[in-house]
């Protein structure tokens, strides 16, 4: 899931700091997510999805495919 976020961030040309400032999702949360110490809750994923203009499901699509 984090890789999808990183791809969206890089394609948008923004930093974690800018994302955090615009969404309210802290940079610590993003860093912990990156290193697998934290999986964002639905409310945080919703904020990120809205910011990048994607569905919340976008972040879980790979995980859902693996389960099938």
Domains of the chain: 2-67 (1.10.260.40)
The answer to whether residues 30 and 20 touch, using CB atoms and an 8 Å cutoff, is yes
Range from 12-16, 28-32, 54-58, 62-66 carrying the lowest mean pLDDT: 62-66
Q: How many angstroms separate the CA atoms of 35 and 50, rounded? A: 23
What integer best gives the mean pLDDT of the chain? 90
What's this model's pTM, rounded to 2 decimal places?
Answer: 0.85
Q: What's the half-sphere exposure (Cβ side, CA atoms, 13 Å) at 59?
A: 24
Phi then psi for residue 31, to 5 deg, are: -65, -45
Q: What is the mean pLDDT of residues 16-41?
A: 93
Question: Does the structure show a pLDDT above 80 at 14?
Answer: yes
Q: How many angstroms separate the CA atoms of 5 and 52, rounded? A: 9
Residues 6+ apart with CB under 8 A from 9: 15, 16, 19, 52
Question: Does the structure show a pLDDT above 90 at 30?
Answer: yes
Q: What is the mean pLDDT of residues 26-51?
A: 93
């Amino acid at each position: 899931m984090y890789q999808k976020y990183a791809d969206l961030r890089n394609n948008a040309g923004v930093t974690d700091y800018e994302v955090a400032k615009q969404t309210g999702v802290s940079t610590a949360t993003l860093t912990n997510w990156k290193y697998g110490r934290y999986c964002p809750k639905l409310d945080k994923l919703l904020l990120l999805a809205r910011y990048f203009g994607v569905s919340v499901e976008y972040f879980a699509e790979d995980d859902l495919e693996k389960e099938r």
